[in-house]
Structure 1
């Protein structure tokens, strides 16, 4: 069955967009800000924290970067008007990192300033290794300027072993995830290219050392075994639950997510919205071959029924 699912994941480009759109409703709040507010309000009412992301590809022009900035400012204004706080997820490339770094930093500063005025925080997302150093440099400047901002780190990168040291010394707020980009083996920890489970020991070490150093840590994973190991460690060490939270994507592993909340852990749900539903949905499906298997099986069954 695993082989079938993997083959199905590779066949996703052949799946009709209409079917992907139907599947996307599980992972995306919708195309509009109103859709996002409705989903986030429901999650808050259920006891979850949220992070909101405006979907969009890397900006290819200053106009695109400015449009993304306006989208974030509108988002902040809408939530601020309702006195409902959420965290922002920000990709620097969507704000023009590859076009003009200074202009990008100006846009991010404007967004973070507006967010702070409404009591909102933000997390600078980590992208592929071509952006890693620039993203870290930008974060360090933004943090030094006093903005309420955190940074995402990817446990599958070898360089994270060094990058996290200075962040821990500063007490920086971190979101630690496994990492999803297709990177060359030279950038990855041993075994990561062949087996995602090989990342777990690195993930655990980064989370535990960061918490022990005094940083607030977002534990971003859907790996049940990894969550079990970490939750046991957190309870054995009697780590106060205000010093960390579990983080999951909208529509992914919801029973596990709900179980963590029921156990009294803080749980944050990442809520994307926007018009780039196709690109985001296909990435999520490829990351979870089981879903691709369900889709392909449904297509085969449908064709046989005709």
Structure 2
């Protein structure tokens, strides 16, 4: 700890702080989980993959607790869903760090985590694209969702929690994308505030369990963890304040592209192919999205199309 202050004053720590602030803004703007962006960003900054996962999970367990507390006070989470998700997610999330440790030496762990995170990012990109599409369906239906509590499927919900817990426990990616989309598919009548509240509340014990597993096996690097927290919290706050000023449609489609290209890069895809795929997504993506909107009976492009609203009450 005596060397902590000099370590925090280095350019590396400043780089982590700036990146954490930027990722926090994106999280605040979109409501997505930060692990899908922060973990690969730390790796690209030169942080060991195992350390990047461990420190990001610890920081996420702190940051998510704040948002979960707000939703808990407002009474929006569905505690039945939270319970079943926790039954599946906590043991698998806790096991994540031990699974990584069992892979072998540092070189083996680095290769394993790099590929695992790449796959997780592609899953996150696909699930995030699905989330955008499902929101479009609600818009086409008039932006109205039922506020009646859905009938719970315990087995399916536990399995969702288990898969999400395993993915987060190994890679730190997935708590803010995969599980939310799975809940949307399982319970399409779940109102948006309850969906967000449920996802946030269940994510706290999930990420905390994953963080404990990695801290026990890997430990934390304070010179990385502190800038993550210090930069992430104000960034998230600023992003939330700016959300009404920025086109959500463009940002969310952009995130899908970034996650896809980052995942391909981490899987070792040749740079020229990453460039070709990125150019294709940038050029053809908006046209494809416009066609999908028109098939749903909406105008081709509408920046305000992602909002949900609850049914009017008498």
* Structure-2-length-normalised TM-score: 0.26
The answer to which structure has the higher strand fraction is 1
Higher RCO structure, 1 or 2 (CA under 8 Å, sep 6+): 2
* Structure-1-length-normalised TM-score: 0.27
The answer to which structure has the higher helix fraction is 2
